């Protein structure tokens, strides 16, 4: 309410001021039109008196100021004309100083001074010096700022700069610089003083008002940067020290922050590079509350992009030791600002790291140094919990990955994992994901166990639970996503050297086994695959001159595999371990490792018996067993018999009849392995088929008994297909008669016609037989004999 009231009042005051202003401006114009200098001065002074108000906020005051500015332009033109008409400019310069009130007087003086400089009746530097001195009379911050800003405005094009028409005989650019510096200093003092005026409760409002005015002050620095005469020497020897002196001495947070930033933005990068010492030296002297981190970050950003755009300046960066200076400066700033938030420190180092990565990509030691300094700051503070700070830390850690696109480089940074350690578990996971993504994106192959070890250290947030309480329950989907990425990563850890590869795998094993059951199901399979791949690459046993003495032997890897699969939890998905065992068995088969293969099978069987109880799962598992076993040629008769016998047993014990039937006829394949004469037992094949047929019969009877209808003939047709298969292979025990009687059996089934799918299945089987017959040759001959 109060504020609103004030706002309304302010509007009123502005309106009143503007009205009085307008009126006097009108009279002034009339005096100008009639060439009446005396009246023009009188009314302009009255008009300018409106600027004496203390009632307006900076925003509204600016409104009034702009009107004054416009009117004073007209007056200036009139002054100029007056001097052409013979009025002495010196007299004019005195005349305006007769005004009793100081503010109008000084506005008029500046205006007359502008004309004075233009007439060149006195050196510009003298007049400027007089003006900037006289302006000291305004000690009111707001009014002083605007007056001096007017002075800056009118003097901008009249500075005795090099190449300017107002340049004097010798070294007048110094005067130009001196003038701007003085005006800048005074303006800054006034601006800072605003902070300390009025009641403390209006602090926020005041700071807002001040920030509205900051560009008036900063403009001076801009003017300085535009001066032709401000070369590197001038900048280093005069401009920068003087500006910094003012910045440091004003001891004002807002001013220091803004002006430091101003310096960095308005002057050329080249200057910054050459004056880094000085610029950085000022930083620790600033108020502790100054957001120095942003200032320095911007400086480093600017220098980085400068280096990026102008590669030819890189030697200068080295020459001036930009990196170590920045590093030192940051250290000092942090030291000076005791209660600097961790976020600021991290941001600083993050910027510095980016800087060094850009400017000195070849100096990995620099990057490591930055990380080292960062650790020094973080040490003793425990894990960081400020979310913004951790985010920044993630950015910092991501920077080397982004720059080099090669995680191997990051692995060389010894301090890298130490910094990472300061992240909480959640952010460690984030960081790990970033690292993995980088590896995947760049297809970085990590080829030594040592590096793998280091990498796992970095991504340990994903590998295990980090022995600390989980802050938040990790989202199931996220967890899966993360673990999948770890799984993908495993394929990037690869060495052509089997010995090294074994090391890599065992490193992985050691780490993964700490991950807990939730992770293992994601990490073990790819590890197994990776190990199996290795086995495949191993030279044949016979080719190896060192035989089993070689450090890398398939046997060892198999032992290892056994260990890791054992670690897989049986619940909730025993089939995973089951499948892996079978896969390993198959690999062992290829290596002719009978005992190992047998062991794997045994493990698979145990799992089947103890863990797989779901009938559907049993069916699938059994199919896998049979499929795998069928291809095994490594087993001796005895072992094979044991295993087949078991498989047969499992088949017969399946719950559902059709499942039983199918399993049993599938088992028939176990006794007939092409190209392996030792495993060709037609007798037992036939026995299997007959048994399947028997089960099929009883299955049909059961359905008709239970449901009152005859069951499907599909099973019969399937068995027929098996018959045909073995018949075609030429197994003597499978005779033409047995095939024919099978066909006859199906044809006699009355339910055949009531089941369209079975009917078409049968039809296509017959078509197949016809097709094989047409083919001719040995197979065709065999089919020829079958009478349908």
Asked if residue 133 binds other proteins (CB under 8 A), the reply is yes
- Map residues 341-360 to x or -, x wherever contact with other proteins holds by CB under 8 A: --------------------
Q: Where are the alpha helices (DSSP H) in 573-614?
A: 574-590, 594-610
Asked if residue 136 binds other proteins (CB under 8 A), the reply is yes
Which one among 17, 58, 113, 141 touches other proteins, defined by CB under 8 A? 141
Pick the closer one to other proteins by CB: 70 or 94: 94
CA distance 270 to 256: 22
Pick the closer one to other proteins by CB: 54 or 311: 54
Asked if residue 437 binds other proteins (CB under 8 A), the reply is no
CA distance 786 to 766: 11
Pick the closer one to other proteins by CB: 197 or 764: 197
Minimum separation from the CB atom of position 121 to other proteins (A)? 19
Pick the closer one to other proteins by CB: 98 or 388: 98
Strand partners of residue 680: 672
Pick the closer one to other proteins by CB: 100 or 547: 100
Pick the closer one to other proteins by CB: 102 or 702: 102
Minimum separation from the CB atom of position 197 to other proteins (A)? 8
Pick the closer one to other proteins by CB: 133 or 609: 133
Minimum separation from the CB atom of position 282 to other proteins (A)? 22
Spatial neighbors of 658 by CB under 8 A, at least 6 apart, are 696, 699, 715
CA 537 to chain centre: 37
CA distance 581 to 630: 15
- Map residues 94-113 to x or -, x wherever contact with other proteins holds by CB under 8 A: x--xx-xxxx-x--------
Minimum separation from the CB atom of position 140 to other proteins (A)? 3
Q: Which of residues 511-570 bind other proteins (CB under 8 A)?
A: none
CA distance 689 to 672: 13
DSSP readout, 656-679?
SHHHHHHHHHHHGGGGB-TT-GGG
Minimum separation from the CB atom of position 98 to other proteins (A)? 5
CA distance 657 to 637: 30
Which one among 35, 139, 753, 785 touches other proteins, defined by CB under 8 A? 139
Strand partners of residue 493: 446
Minimum separation from the CB atom of position 138 to other proteins (A)? 5
CA distance 134 to 144: 11
Pick the closer one to other proteins by CB: 132 or 670: 132
Strand partners of residue 446: 493
Minimum separation from the CB atom of position 137 to other proteins (A)? 5
3-state secondary structure of 369: helix
Q: 475 is written with which tokens?
A: 């989202």
Indicate the helix (H) or strand (E) that contains 462: helix 460-463
Asked if residue 144 binds other proteins (CB under 8 A), the reply is yes
CA distance 729 to 79: 120
Minimum separation from the CB atom of position 383 to other proteins (A)? 47
Minimum separation from the CB atom of position 142 to other proteins (A)? 9
Asked if residue 245 binds other proteins (CB under 8 A), the reply is no
Asked if residue 766 binds other proteins (CB under 8 A), the reply is no
- Map residues 261-300 to x or -, x wherever contact with other proteins holds by CB under 8 A: ----------------------------------------
CB atoms near residue 623 (< 10 Å):
14
Whether residue 171 contacts residue 232, with contact meaning beta carbons closer than 8 Å, is answered with: no
Minimum separation from the CB atom of position 62 to other proteins (A)? 18
- Map residues 636-675 to x or -, x wherever contact with other proteins holds by CB under 8 A: ----------------------------------------
Pick the closer one to other proteins by CB: 98 or 491: 98
Q: 516 is written with which tokens?
A: 């807990």
Q: What CA–CA distances, in Å, run from 642 to 103, 149, 782?
A: 113, 102, 34
Residue range at the interface with other proteins (CB under 8 A); choices 132-140, 204-212, 277-285, 445-453: 132-140
Residue range at the interface with other proteins (CB under 8 A); choices 141-149, 273-281, 496-504, 538-546: 141-149
Minimum separation from the CB atom of position 242 to other proteins (A)? 17
Asked if residue 193 binds other proteins (CB under 8 A), the reply is yes
The DSSP symbol for 5 reads: H
Which one among 7, 137, 288, 516 touches other proteins, defined by CB under 8 A? 137
Minimum separation from the CB atom of position 48 to other proteins (A)? 12
Burial code (b: 16+ CB inside 10 Å, e: under 16) for 464-490 equals beeeeeeeeeeeeeebeebbebbbebb
Which one among 138, 292, 597, 696 touches other proteins, defined by CB under 8 A? 138
Which one among 140, 521, 631, 687 touches other proteins, defined by CB under 8 A? 140
Whether residue 489 contacts residue 446, with contact meaning beta carbons closer than 8 Å, is answered with: no
Pick the closer one to other proteins by CB: 23 or 249: 249
Asked if residue 58 binds other proteins (CB under 8 A), the reply is no
Q: Which residue in this structure is represented by tokens 């094009």?
A: 157
The DSSP symbol for 210 reads: H
Asked if residue 45 binds other proteins (CB under 8 A), the reply is no
Q: Which of residues 75-94 bind other proteins (CB under 8 A)?
A: 94
CA distance 315 to 197: 50
CA distance 483 to 475: 12
Pick the closer one to other proteins by CB: 46 or 398: 46
Q: Tell me the torsion sign for CA atoms 618, 624, 627, 632.
A: negative
CA distance 31 to 40: 5
Phi, psi (5° rounding) for residue 710?
-80, 145
CA distance 759 to 717: 9
Q: Total binding residues for other proteins by CB under 8 A?
A: 21
Minimum separation from the CB atom of position 19 to other proteins (A)? 23
Pick the closer one to other proteins by CB: 143 or 782: 143
Pick the closer one to other proteins by CB: 129 or 773: 129
Spatial neighbors of 230 by CB under 8 A, at least 6 apart, are 173, 177, 224, 239
CB atoms near residue 744 (< 10 Å):
11
Which one among 60, 125, 143, 511 touches other proteins, defined by CB under 8 A? 143
**Range 197-204 contact pairs with CB under 8 angstroms and sequence separation of 24 or more:** 197/141
Minimum separation from the CB atom of position 437 to other proteins (A)? 58
CA distance 559 to 608: 21
Which one among 134, 283, 342, 621 touches other proteins, defined by CB under 8 A? 134
Positions in the binding site for other proteins (CB under 8 A): 52, 94, 97-98, 100-103, 105, 133-134, 136-141, 143-144, 189, 193
């Amino acid at each position: 309410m109060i504020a609103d009231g004030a706002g309304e009042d302010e509007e009123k005051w502005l309106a009143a001021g503007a009205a009085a202003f307008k009126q006097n401006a009108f009279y002034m114009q009339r005096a100008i039109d009639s060439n009446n200098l005396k009246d023009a001065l009188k009314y302009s002074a009255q008009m300018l008196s409106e600027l004496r108000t203390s009632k307006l906020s900076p925003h509204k005051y600016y409104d009034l100021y702009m009107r004054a500015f416009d009117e004073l332009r007209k007056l200036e033109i009139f002054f100029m004309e007056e001097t052409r008409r013979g009025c002495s400019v010196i007299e004019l310069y005195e005349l305006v100083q007769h005004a009793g009130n100081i503010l109008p007087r000084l506005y008029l003086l500046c205006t007359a001074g502008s004309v004075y400089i233009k007439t060149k009746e006195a050196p510009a530097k003298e007049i400027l010096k007089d003006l900037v001195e006289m302006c000291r009379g305004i000690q009111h911050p707001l009014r002083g700022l605007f007056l001096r800003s007017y002075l800056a405005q009118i003097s901008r094009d009249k500075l005795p700069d090099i190449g300017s028409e107002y340049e004097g005989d010798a070294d007048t650019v110094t005067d130009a610089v001196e003038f701007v510096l003085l005006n800048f200093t005074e303006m800054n003092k006034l601006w800072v003083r605003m902070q300390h005026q009025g009641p403390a409760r209006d602090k926020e409002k005041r700071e807002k008002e001040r920030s509205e005015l900051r560009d008036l002050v900063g403009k001076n620095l801009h003017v300085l940067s535009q001066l032709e005469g401000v070369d590197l020497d001038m900048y280093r020897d005069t401009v920068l020290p003087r500006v910094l002196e003012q910045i440091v001495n004003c001891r004002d947070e807002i001013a220091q922050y803004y002006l430091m930033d101003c310096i960095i933005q308005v002057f050329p990068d080249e200057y910054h590079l050459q004056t880094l010492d000085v610029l950085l030296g000022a930083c620790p002297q600033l108020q502790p509350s100054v957001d120095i981190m942003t200032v320095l970050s911007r400086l480093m950003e600017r220098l980085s992009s400068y280096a990026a755009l102008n590669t030819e300046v890189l030697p200068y960066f080295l020459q001036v030791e930009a990196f170590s200076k920045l590093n030192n400066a940051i250290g000092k700033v942090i030291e000076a600002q005791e209660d600097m938030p961790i976020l600021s420190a991290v941001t600083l180092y993050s910027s510095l790291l980016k800087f060094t990565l850009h400017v000195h990509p070849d100096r990995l030691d620099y990057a490591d140094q930055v990380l080292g300094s960062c650790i020094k700051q973080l040490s003793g503070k425990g894990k960081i919990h400020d979310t913004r700070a951790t985010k920044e830390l993630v950015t910092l850690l991501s920077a080397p990955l982004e720059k080099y696109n090669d995680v191997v480089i990051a692995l060389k940074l010894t301090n890298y994992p130490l910094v990472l350690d300061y992240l909480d578990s959640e952010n460690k996971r984030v960081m790990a994901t970033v690292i993995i993504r980088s590896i995947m994106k760049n297809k970085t192959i990590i080829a030594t166990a040592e590096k793998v070890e280091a990498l796992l250290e970095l991504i340990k947030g994903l590998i295990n639970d980090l022995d600390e309480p989980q802050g938040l329950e990790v989202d199931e989907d996220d967890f899966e996503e993360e673990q999948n990425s770890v799984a993908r990563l495993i394929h990037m850890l690869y060495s052509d050297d089997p010995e090294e590869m074994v090391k890599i795998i065992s490193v992985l094993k050691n780490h993964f086994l700490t991950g807990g059951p939730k992770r293992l199901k994601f990490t073990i399979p790819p590890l197994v695959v990776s190990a199996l791949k290795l086995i495949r690459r191993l030279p044949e046993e016979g080719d190896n001159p060192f035989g089993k003495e070689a450090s890398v032997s398939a046997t060892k890897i198999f032992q290892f595999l056994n260990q890791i699969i054992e670690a897989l939890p049986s619940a909730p998905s025993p089939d995973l371990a089951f499948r892996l065992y079978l896969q390993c068995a198959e690999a062992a088969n290829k290596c002719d490792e009978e005992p190992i293969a047998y062991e794997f099978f045994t493990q698979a069987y145990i799992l089947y018996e103890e863990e797989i109880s779901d009938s559907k799962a049993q069916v699938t598992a059994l199919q896998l067993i049979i499929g795998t076993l069928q291809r095994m040629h490594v087993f001796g008769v005895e072992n094979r018999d044991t295993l087949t016998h078991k498989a047969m047993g499992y088949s017969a014990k399946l719950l559902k009849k059709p499942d039983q039937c199918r399993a049993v006829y599938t088992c028939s394949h176990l006794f007939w392995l092409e190209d392996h004469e030792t495993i060709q037992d037609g007798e037992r094949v036939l026995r299997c088929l007959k048994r399947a047929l028997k089960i099929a019969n009883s299955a049909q009877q059961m359905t008709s008994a239970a449901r009152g209808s005859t069951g499907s003939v599909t099973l019969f047709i399937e068995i027929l297909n098996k018959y045909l298969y073995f018949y075609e292979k030429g197994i003597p025990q499978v005779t033409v008669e047995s095939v024919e009687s099978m066909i006859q059996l199906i044809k006699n089934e009355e339910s055949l016609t009531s089941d369209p799918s079975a009917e078409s299945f049968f039809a296509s089987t017959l078509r197949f037989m016809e097709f094989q017959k047409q083919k001719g040759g040995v197979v065709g001959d065999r089919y020829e004999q079958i009478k349908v």
